[in-house]
Chains A and B, each alone.
Chain A
Amino acid sequence: TQLLEQSPQFLSIQEGENLTVYCNSSSVFSSLQWYRQEPGEGPVLLVTVVTGGEVKKLKRLTFQFGDARKDSSLHITAAQPGDTGLYLCAGEKVRDNDMRFGAGTRLTVKP
């Protein structure tokens, strides 16, 4: 069982649609990060959230950290083909020394 459960595992949508992907856990995290990974490359950090209830926006991407710091969501508005990729969440548990990743959501945006 993954420490961080991401859903959906796969998502295929048309250009212009909105979407939300989720990252859930029963553990509390001191920080949570979202990454995007393209084939043949390493993950690239999109955002870090550290405060329960925090909302961060990055152009068409909105990230929210749950009040209890156990879950997070990523909402994309008006998706574009360039948004295609693997979206990973990763969390640093309280009093832990490493970061744990979810299995990712593989997003495909069709033109």
Chain B
Amino acid sequence: GAGVSQSPRYKVAKRGQDVALRCDPISGHVSLFWYQQALGQGPEFLTYFQNEAQLDKSGLPSDRFFAERPEGSVSTLKIQRTQQEDSAVYLCASSLDSGVADTQYFGPGTRLTVL
């Protein structure tokens, strides 16, 4: 596909379960971003990769959140021991170059519901 894809689109987890969310960026895009969007809010920055290097993870809310991009393309956001407050839409975006102000193309998001 031509755009950013994310899977699964919807995920329901029981509190305490681990989840893994996948992002397939646009081919050739250097930068990849993860955001968390709570209901009725704007996206909140989580972490940023330039190729395989995680340059900024200041937005990850706790050490239960972990992201990787081992080969500089596909990225996985893992949440361990999920809690109800983790319920949100998780958005992934990619951009061609390394500048943050470069156009970011967003995927449709994964809606995570923790029961």
The answer to whether A binds B is yes
Query: Which chain A residues lie closer than 8 Å to B101 at the CB level?
Result: 30-31, 33, 48, 50, 92, 99
Contact A43–B106 (Cβ < 8 Å): yes
A78 contacts the other chain (CB 8 A): no
Interface size on B, residues (CB 8 A): 25
Partner pick for B104 among A2, A50, A97, A99, CB 8 A cutoff: A99
Chain A residue nearest to B92 (CB atoms) is A42
Interface size on A, residues (CB 8 A): 26
Task: Count contacts between A and B, CB distance < 8 Å.
Answer: 63
Contact B55–A103 (Cβ < 8 Å): no
Cβ contacts B92-110/A at 8 Å (1 or 0 each): 0100000011011111110
Report Cα–Cα, A2/B41, bound state, in Å: 10
Question: Given contacts A42-B4, A42-B91, are A98 and B108 in contact (CB under 8 A)?
Answer: no
Report Cα–Cα, A101/B13, bound state, in Å: 27
A102 to chain B, nearest CB (A): 5
Query: Which chain A residues lie closer than 8 Å to B48 at the CB level?
Result: 97-98
Chain B residue nearest to A2 (CB atoms) is B42
A residues near B (Cβ < 8 Å) are 2, 4, 6, 30-31, 33, 40-45, 48, 50, 88, 90, 92, 96-104
